[in-house]
Amino acid sequence: MVTHLNYCDDVSPHIDASVTEIERAAFQLRRLWAKPHLLQRLREQCGQGGRPIQLSSLLVIHAIAGQGGGQGEVTVGAVADYLDIDPSTASRLVGHAIDAGFVSRTPSPVDARRAHLRLTESGERVRGLTDDFRRRFIARLVADWTDEERSVFAGLLGRFAEAAANFPMEAAELEASARSEDCP
């Protein structure tokens, strides 16, 4: 009897079990960005008046900082590319970050049709606090690892992240892999 598995099953017979473990671990890593303690600390220290800081604003702040901290020509399109999202989605997320006071938008001196994005003082403060929180959190997680283990892990994780960021995944490929049946 042949059992048909789809992408919703725990382990496909065609996928090594270690791949499933990597996928599960990658999913869990999202918590480095959205830990409740981090978001609460940011509200307290960044003058948000008790308003929650949206994860999308943290992503926009990270995208701008990752492109030279807004010292160069950072545009909505550059944020979209950095976050690998549609320009219309990036525009909406940037708008929210501007409304929250983390990002400023000025006309580009190079092209009047474009907007230049920079982190505000509040955006810089949030960036610094989030970077510090995540680094301290990671340091605590790997505190009992040897220097060699940390180095090997950093190299492999960096290699994995680079491969994931540069892999040309098309929607058609995802559809083809999921074509057998929908998830229950």
Tens of pLDDT, residues 25-84: 888 887 666 667 766 776 676 655 556 778 889 899 999 999 875 566 799 999 999 998
Domain 17-170 fold? Arc Repressor Mutant, subunit A (1.10.10)
pLDDT of residue 155: 96
pLDDT band at 177 (very low <50, low <70, confident <90, very high): low
pLDDT of residue 48: 56
As a dihedral over the C-alpha atoms of residue 134, residue 97, residue 74, residue 170, rounded to 10 degrees, the angle is 80
Average pLDDT over residues 7-34: 73
pLDDT digits (tens, 9 = 90+) for 93-130: 999 999 999 999 998 777 777 888 999 999 999 899 88
Q: Would you give the DSSP letter of residue 35?
A: -
Domains of the chain: which residue ranges? 17-170
Average pLDDT over residues 147-155: 96
As a dihedral over the C-alpha atoms of residue 11, residue 12, residue 16, residue 19, rounded to 10 degrees, the angle is -60
